[in-house]
Amino acid sequence: MNKLSKSFRVYKGKRVLVTGHTGFKGSWLCEWLLALGAEVHGFALPPPTRPSLFNQLRLSRRIKSHTVGDVRDLSAVKSVVRKVKPDFVFHLAAQPLVRLSYEKPVETFETNVMGTVNVLEAVRQAFCNGKSKCSVVCITTDKCYENRETSRPYREDDPMGGYDPYSCSKGCDELLISSYRRSFFGSPDSPVWVASARAGNVIGGGDWALDRIVPDCMRALAKGAPIPVRNKVSTRPWQHVLEPLGGYLTLGVALASRTRFADYAGGFNFGPDPRANRSVKDLVVEVLKWVKGEWIDKSDPNAVHEAGLLNLDIRKARRVLDWRPLWDFETTVKNTVLWYDEVRKGACPIDVTQRQIHDYLVVR
Ligand SMILES: NC(=O)c1ccc[n+]([C@@H]2O[C@H](COP(=O)([O-])OP(=O)(O)OC[C@H]3O[C@@H](n4cnc5c(N)ncnc54)[C@H](O)[C@@H]3O)[C@@H](O)[C@H]2O)c1
Share of the chain above pLDDT 90, in %: 83
Per-residue pLDDT averaged across 168-197, rounded?
A: 97
Residue 118 has pLDDT above 70, yes or no: yes
Please work out whether the CB of residue 343 comes within 6 Å of at least one atom of ligand 1.
Answer: no
Dist CA 207 CA 238 (whole Å): 14
The end-to-end CA distance of the chain, in Å, is 9
Query: Is the CB of residue 71 less than 8 Å from the CB of residue 77?
Result: yes
Per-residue pLDDT averaged across 132-155, rounded?
A: 92
Please work out whether the CB of residue 199 comes within 6 Å of at least one atom of ligand 1.
Answer: yes
Distance 47 CA to ligand 1 centre (A): 10
| Ligand 1 site-directed mutation target among 56, 92, 99, most atoms within 8 Å of CB | 92
| Ligand 1 site-directed mutation target among 21, 24, 239, most atoms within 8 Å of CB | 24
* Predicted local confidence at residue 2, as pLDDT: 59
Please work out whether the CB of residue 202 comes within 6 Å of at least one atom of ligand 1.
Answer: yes
Please work out whether the CB of residue 44 comes within 6 Å of at least one atom of ligand 1.
Answer: yes
Chain centre to alpha carbon of residue 3: 22
307 or 200, greater pLDDT:
200
Residue 364 has pLDDT above 60, yes or no: no
Give the chain's mean pLDDT.
93
Residue 60 has pLDDT above 80, yes or no: yes
**Integer CA distances (angstroms), 193 to 17, 152, 263, in order:** 15, 30, 11
What are the tens digits of pLDDT across the range 273-290? 877 788 999 999 999 999
Band (pLDDT 50/70/90 cuts) for residue 363 is low
Nearest to 61 by CA among 40, 76, 47, 37: 40
What are the tens digits of pLDDT across the range 311-361? 899 999 999 999 999 999 999 999 999 999 999 999 999 999 999 999 998
Dist CA 90 CA 41 (whole Å): 10
Please work out whether the CB of residue 122 comes within 6 Å of at least one atom of ligand 1.
Answer: no
Query: What's phi and psi for 349, nearest 5 deg?
Result: -60, -35
Please work out whether the CB of residue 239 comes within 6 Å of at least one atom of ligand 1.
Answer: no
**Integer CA distances (angstroms), 48 to 35, 96, 114, 183, 280, in order:** 24, 11, 19, 34, 24
Q: For residue 50, what is the enclosing H or E element?
A: none
* Predicted local confidence at residue 12, as pLDDT: 97
Q: For residue 196, what is the enclosing H or E element?
A: strand 192-199
* Predicted local confidence at residue 275, as pLDDT: 76
Query: Is the CB of residue 273 less than 8 Å from the CB of residue 325?
Result: yes
Band (pLDDT 50/70/90 cuts) for residue 309 is low
Query: What's phi and psi for 325, nearest 5 deg?
Result: -70, 145
Per-residue pLDDT averaged across 77-106, rounded?
A: 97
What are the tens digits of pLDDT across the range 256-267? 999 999 999 999
Please work out whether the CB of residue 76 comes within 6 Å of at least one atom of ligand 1.
Answer: no
187 or 304, greater pLDDT:
187
* Predicted local confidence at residue 129, as pLDDT: 87
Please work out whether the CB of residue 48 comes within 6 Å of at least one atom of ligand 1.
Answer: yes
Query: What's phi and psi for 339, nearest 5 deg?
Result: -60, -50
Distance 264 CA to ligand 1 centre (A): 24
Give the chain's domains with CATH numbers: 3-201+240-272+310-327 (3.40.50.720)
* Angle made by CA atoms 248, 57, 210, in degrees to the nearest 5: 75
Q: How many H helices and E strands in the chain?
A: 16, 13
Kindly report the protein residue whose alpha carbon is nearest to atom 18 of ligand 1: 23
Chain centre to alpha carbon of residue 290: 25
- Three-state DSSP state, 212: coil
Kindly report the protein residue whose alpha carbon is nearest to atom 20 of ligand 1: 23
Query: Is the CB of residue 164 less than 8 Å from the CB of residue 108?
Result: no
Nearest to 328 by CA among 353, 295, 363: 363
Question: Ligand 1 atom closest to Cα of 27?
Answer: 16
Whether the bond into 51 is cis, omega within 30 of 0: yes
Please work out whether the CB of residue 271 comes within 6 Å of at least one atom of ligand 1.
Answer: no
What are the tens digits of pLDDT across the range 210-240? 878 999 999 999 899 999 998 888 888 899 9
Query: Is the CB of residue 40 less than 8 Å from the CB of residue 64?
Result: yes
* Predicted local confidence at residue 308, as pLDDT: 59
What are the tens digits of pLDDT across the range 69-90? 999 999 999 999 999 999 999 9
* Predicted local confidence at residue 231, as pLDDT: 82
Chain centre to alpha carbon of residue 273: 17
Band (pLDDT 50/70/90 cuts) for residue 306 is low
